[in-house]
Amino acid sequence: MTFDVVFVCILIQKESMPMAEKTTAYAHDYKDLRIGDWQVSPGACTIARNGEETKITPRSMDVLKLLIERAGNVVSPGEFLETIWRSPIATDHAVHKAIAELRSALQDDAHNPSYIKTIPKRGYTLIAPIATVAVIPSPAADKTDRRAPPAKATLTPETPADTGRSGTAGHGKLTLWRKIAVAAMLSALVISAPLFLRSPETTPEADGVVKLAVLPFASRDFSDENQILAEGIRESLIHGLSKLRQLQVLSPARNAELLATSQRDADSYLQQADHVLQGSVMTSEGRLRVIVQLVRASDGLRQYSDQFDLPMNDIFAVQDQIVSNVTSALRVYLNESERTQMRDWGTTNALAYEHFLRGEFYNNQFSPADWERAIESHQAAIALDPGFLNAHHGIATAANNLAVYSGADKIDDMYQLVLNTHRQISQINPDSDILDSIHAIKLRMRGSSYIQQEMQLREQILSGNPPHFALSHYALLLIGARMYDEAERFLAQATEAGPFEISPDEAWSYRTNILTPADSVLARKNQLQQRPYHVAFLGSVAVNLATLGDFRQAQIYLNQQREVDLEGILAHYSETIMGVLAGDILADTPSYFAALREHPDFFYNNGVLAFMVGDIERGVHYWQNLQPVHLRRLFNVTHAAEKYFPDEVLYSPQYLALLDALGAGLEWQRRLMEGVMAMESVTGVGLSRRSREAYDSQRMMIKNNLWSEQDWSEHQHYLSQRLAQASTLNAARVH
Q: Among 68-77, 386-395, 408-417, 491-500, whose mean pLDDT is lowest?
A: 491-500
List pLDDT tens digits, range 654-667: 999 999 999 999 99
The one-letter amino acid at 234: R
| Nearest in space to 639 (alpha carbons), one of 513, 471, 516 | 513
- Cα 488 to Cα 512, 516, 610, 685, 722: the distances in Å are 10, 13, 31, 10, 29
**181 falls in which pLDDT band (50, 70, 90)?**
very low
> Cβ-count burial of 195 within 10 angstroms (0-12 exposed, 13-18 middle, 19+ buried)?
exposed
In this prediction, residue 121 carries a pLDDT of 65
**240 falls in which pLDDT band (50, 70, 90)?**
confident
pLDDT at residue 686 is higher than 60 = yes
List pLDDT tens digits, range 273-308: 888 888 888 888 778 888 888 888 888 877 778 887
Give the three-class secondary structure for 704. coil
The one-letter amino acid at 107: Q
Q: How many residues does the chain have?
A: 735
Q: Among 301-310, 361-370, 548-557, whose mean pLDDT is lowest?
A: 301-310
List pLDDT tens digits, range 55-66: 888 888 889 999
In this prediction, residue 285 carries a pLDDT of 78
Report the alpha-carbon distance of residue 218 to residue 202 in Å, rounded: 32
In this prediction, residue 552 carries a pLDDT of 95
Cβ proximity of 645 and 612 under 8 Å: yes
In this prediction, residue 1 carries a pLDDT of 38
| Nearest in space to 401 (alpha carbons), one of 632, 635, 77, 662 | 632
Beta bridge partners, 210, equal: 247
In this prediction, residue 64 carries a pLDDT of 93
Complete domains list, the chain, with CATH: 3-195 (1.10.10.10), 204-335 (3.40.50.10070), 346-433 (1.25.40.10), 450-722 (1.25.40)
Residue 547: which H helix or E strand, with range?
A: helix 535-547
Rounded mean pLDDT of 152-156? Answer: 44
Query: What are residue 140's phi and psi, to 5 degrees?
Result: -85, -10
- Give the chain's end-to-end CA distance (angstroms, integer): 98
List pLDDT tens digits, range 21-49: 333 333 334 578 899 999 998 888 889 99
- Cα 276 to Cα 93, 254, 259, 291: the distances in Å are 35, 16, 20, 14
From the CB of residue 653, how many other CB atoms can be counted at a distance below 10 Å? Answer: 8
Query: What are residue 24's phi and psi, to 5 degrees?
Result: -80, -25
- Cα 731 to Cα 353, 475, 576, 726, 735: the distances in Å are 62, 45, 21, 9, 7
Q: Among 302-316, 357-371, 603-617, 622-636, whose mean pLDDT is lowest?
A: 302-316
Q: Among 130-134, 399-403, 423-427, 609-613, whose mean pLDDT is lowest?
A: 130-134
Cβ proximity of 191 and 6 under 8 Å: no
- Cα 635 to Cα 125, 621, 680: the distances in Å are 37, 17, 23
Residue 118: which H helix or E strand, with range?
A: strand 116-119
In this prediction, residue 715 carries a pLDDT of 93
pLDDT cut 70: percent of the chain above it: 78
Report the alpha-carbon distance of residue 514 to residue 511 in Å, rounded: 6
Cβ proximity of 402 and 384 under 8 Å: no
Secondary structure letter of residue 630 according to DSSP: G
Q: Among 300-309, 610-619, 725-734, whose mean pLDDT is lowest?
A: 725-734
- Cα 389 to Cα 47, 347, 498, 624: the distances in Å are 28, 9, 15, 40
Q: Among 164-178, 420-434, 584-598, 693-707, whose mean pLDDT is lowest?
A: 164-178
**568 falls in which pLDDT band (50, 70, 90)?**
very high
Beta bridge partners, 296, equal: 275
Higher pLDDT, 58 or 451: 451
pLDDT cut 90: percent of the chain above it: 46
pLDDT at residue 604 is higher than 90 = yes
List pLDDT tens digits, range 477-505: 999 999 999 999 999 888 766 555 666 66
Nearby residues of 379 by Cβ (< 8 Å), 6 or more positions away = 395
- Cα 131 to Cα 117, 158, 159, 253, 359: the distances in Å are 19, 5, 8, 53, 41
Nearby residues of 723 by Cβ (< 8 Å), 6 or more positions away = 583
Tell me the Ramachandran region of residue 643: left when phi exceeds 0, alpha when psi lies from -120 to 50, beta otherwise: alpha
